[in-house]
Amino acid sequence: MLRLMLALLVLLALLASANAFSRSATRIKLASGTRAPSSATKLNLFGSPEPPKNQPAKKDGGGGGLFGMGGGMMDKMKQAQEMMKKAEEINKELMDTAVIGQDKEGQVFATFNGMAMPVGIKIPDSVLAQGSEAASLAATQAMIDAHTKAQGVMMGKMQAMYGGLPGMPKP
């Protein structure tokens, strides 16, 4: 859950700052009155530059300033909100998902939910009769198997949600 919230926070930060460092070619006038070559660029830290005077200003809130929400910032915020809604739905779905793991002999079963949290374990009397060491080993194997499967289920759901986004980690 913490990883998901952290990933969403990083996603929101990436979406919010996508246009913060866009480059646009401009000519810089030097103090001596000469002009720098046309390859010079400047950074627009708070959105896109003001539109040229022969073009009308955009109607999405102004000319690209930090609070003007220019450069498609509102669309990116809507996308981030949609992603958060999807993440909540996936979290609910994962909480209701049961993943079962077993030991190597197939006698002990551990149940985890889709968020990789343990829900239960079943150890038959035949395993308990073998002693505490054998029961502990079988329980550990079943829990590791269930946890690994639950993480796979969780990663599959997250990849489906974040599918085409650049910069998201691959399992």
Question: What is the residue whose two structure tokens read 């395993």?
Answer: 127
Residue appearing with tokens 């829900």: 119
142 residue type, one letter: A
pLDDT per residue as tens digits for the range 47-58: 555 666 676 655
The domains of the chain are located at: 1-18+42-96, 98-166
What tens digit of pLDDT does each residue of 99-148 get? 999 999 999 999 999 999 999 999 999 999 999 999 999 999 999 999 99
The amino acid present at 83, given as its one-letter code, is M
Its sign, for the CA torsion 161, 163, 169, 171, is positive
Q: Which residue has the higher pLDDT, 5 or 96?
A: 96
Six token digits for residue 126: 């035949």
Helices (H), 70-167: 73-96, 125-128, 132-162
> What's the pLDDT at 28?
45
**How far apart, in whole angstroms, are the C-alpha atoms of residue 41 and residue 54?**
22
Whether the predicted model's global pTM rises above the 0.75 cut? no
Specify the CATH number of the domain 98-166: 3.30.1310.10
